[in-house]
Amino acid sequence: MKKLAVGILLISLILICFTGGVLAREVTVTGYGATRSDAISDALRQAIEQAVGTLVESETLVSNMAVIKDEIYARARGFVQNYDIINEHWSNSQVIITAKVIVDTAPNSELMSQLQRLKLIEVGIRDPRIAVIIPEYHNASPISDPAAEAAIIQRLLAAGFTRVIDANQIRGIRYSSDVKSIASGNAKAVAVVVANLDVDYLIIGEAFSQYVGNIQDSGILSSRARVEARLFKTDNGEIIATNNSQAGGVDITELMSAKKALNNAGNLMGNYMVQQLLNFASNPEKGVQLIIAGFTNYSQVNTLEKQLRQITGIKNVYIRNYSNGTATIDINYTGATKTLATELENMRDIRVNITSISNSVIQGKIIANE
């Protein structure tokens, strides 16, 4: 039990990030120990766990046990802003303390500085595959080797995202009509673009640079650049983030000043997208869409809804559509989709055969009663 609690603590900790402007969270917990100090330490560790929520897969728990013991479990007090003991008594030869604890969840807190960003990427969004497609234009003419795209990829790699698609793999589609369509707001074209890329997230948009002029006739030439991009979750087309960035660049040639401006704007966009991915990873509650076929009547859909609400980790259930025996259901879930898929196949009142799983979409079919 102690190892499990320690494991949950790590996963709980690594799921914190820059969420909603909340810098601290107050929780009430009960701690147990052979001494008063032990009981307080137990309470503080439980407070951290409760404040940030949990999401755990067994392989992650086992592989990170050494980190848990050495870095996190022993430093719980450093992650707490303040605590007040509201009750203290002895029972069965141990001290029992109830306390109100304020956990420091600010982005620059000791808690955040101690957590490994790589673990957040690994657990929160499961080491995703990412493609970056940013066609570039200087004075309305296409540029063969996009600088902004390269800068965004560099920022992703520097942050710890290791599965970024090589630029050569998207060279043939970078200036395609489908990419242009997405940049213009057609999210439905995402499925077409990623059909042969096998990625979980897509950063896509456009970049533009324009020559400004010779700075005070010094021979130093200046250009300005703008990058517009969106971050998509590819399996369901969800837009995670959208932004634009602008920057300038100077050099002794017009083209190089444009390249530097595009690179600078790309770095700004890359930093923004890294933060948005980490924000998304840090939220333990993710949206999952179920597409279940084979219903013979709507009462079966109601039965499935009731069963779903009994599964641990499911927070909300929304029936979005029912047509021709197929139901589309959106849920908010704090676990992994493969865990949910197993739960679906183990339901008793209605049987489901899972046919496909992605990070946020599960498809299945109702099994008829024999």
β-strand partners of 203:
132, 231
Residue 120 has what pLDDT?
63
Mean pLDDT of 323-345: 90
Residue 105 has what pLDDT?
64
CATH assignment at residue 356: 3.30.70
Residues 338 and 239 in one domain: no
Res 11 pLDDT > 70: no
Q: Which of 123, 156, 182 is the last residue of a domain?
A: 123
Helix (H) / strand (E) element for 209: namely: strand 201-214
Mean pLDDT taken over the chain: 82
pTM: 0.65
Contact residues for 314 (Cβ-Cβ < 8 A; gap 6+): 308, 331, 332, 333, 340
The order of strands in the sheet holding 352-357 is 314-323, 326-333, 286-293, 361-366, 352-357
Range of the domain at 11: 2-123
Distance from C-alpha of 111 to C-alpha of 202, rounded to nearest angstrom: 30
Residues 103 and 158 in one domain: no
Number of C-alpha atoms within 13 angstroms, CB side, residue 292? 29
User: Terminal CA-to-CA distance of the chain, rounded, Å?
Assistant: 41
Helix (H) / strand (E) element for 320: namely: strand 314-323
- Going by the DSSP 8-state scheme, the letter that residue 369 receives in this structure is P
Mean pLDDT of 92-101: 91
Q: Which of 75, 94, 123 is the last residue of a domain?
A: 123
Residue 111 has what pLDDT?
56
pLDDT in tens, 209-247: 999 999 998 999 999 999 999 999 998 888 999 999 999
Residues 146 and 246 in one domain: yes
Residues 246 and 307 in one domain: no
CATH assignment at residue 263: 3.40.50.10070
**Single-letter code of the amino acid located at 313:** G
Residues 306 and 350 in one domain: yes
Asked which of 107-121, 173-187, 303-317, 318-332 is least confident by mean pLDDT, the reply is 107-121
pLDDT in tens, 117-144: 556 666 667 788 999 999 999 998 999 8
Domain count, the chain: 3
pLDDT in tens, 31-77: 998 888 888 888 887 787 776 543 333 344 334 444 443 444 545 56
Q: Which of 231, 259, 282 is the last residue of a domain?
A: 282
Residue 283 has what pLDDT?
74
Please provide the DSSP assignment of 105-138 as one string: --TTSHHHHHS-HHHHHHHHS-S-EEEEE--EEE
